[in-house]
Amino acid sequence: MDTMDSATLISSLTTEDYIIIVAGLAVVAMLLYVVKGSCGSDSRRKPAASVSRAPERPKLPYTFLTRQELKQFNGEDETKPIFVAIRSRIYDVSSRPDMYGQGGGYNLFAGIEASRALAKSSFEKSDLENPDLSDLSFMEKDTLLHWEQVFTKYEMVGEVVADEKEKETKSREYEAKKATSAAQQKTA
């Protein structure tokens, strides 16, 4: 493509095209920050080792939490793990208190079902408190998929449920499945 064609292409972009390009660059920057831990060297950032947290915890049992119960795992209480939920899957992000703990750049995602806010690259209260994904655009769904891949490096420790009834049902189903699996291993 020669210079004239490039200039024509750039001048033909609409405001919506520019917004999409800038939003895409912002998503890439956020993903790089999460994957690499930082977008550059920042002497103000505390290394993970210098952040005081409770000692290493044993593996957590798989759990089912309502959105209200999930809020207590937001990094405020250093004796509790830090959880972030994406598409109702709860991940233990306690290994990164510098990011998800109090004062961390991603602390607002701690203790919540963060799918909508992550998908929209939003820090708005309305997105942080809203678990509805039905109106996400194609790009937002793609962004959420990338975030899901980022979170696979953390242990999945449970699921977000709607209420106590669903919690009881899923807990019974999980325990039955676990018992069946253990029984099959004994006979094998």
List the chain domain ranges: 1-39, 55-181
Among 3.40.50.10860, 3.40.50.300, 1.10.645.10, 3.10.120.10, what is the CATH number of 55-181? Answer: 3.10.120.10
More confident residue, 106 or 53: 106
Mean pLDDT, residues 119-128 taken together: 96
Positive or negative, the Cα torsion across 111, 141, 14, 126? negative
The DSSP H or E segment spanning 159 is strand 155-161
Per-residue pLDDT tens over the stretch 142-152: 999 999 999 99
The answer to whether 115 touches 160, Cβ cutoff 8 Å, is: no
Strand partners for 89: 86, 159
Q: Find the angle CA(71)-CA(93)-CA(163) to the nearest 5 degrees.
A: 35
Per-residue pLDDT tens over the stretch 32-72: 665 555 444 443 444 444 444 445 677 889 999 999 999 99
Per-residue pLDDT tens over the stretch 81-90: 999 999 999 9
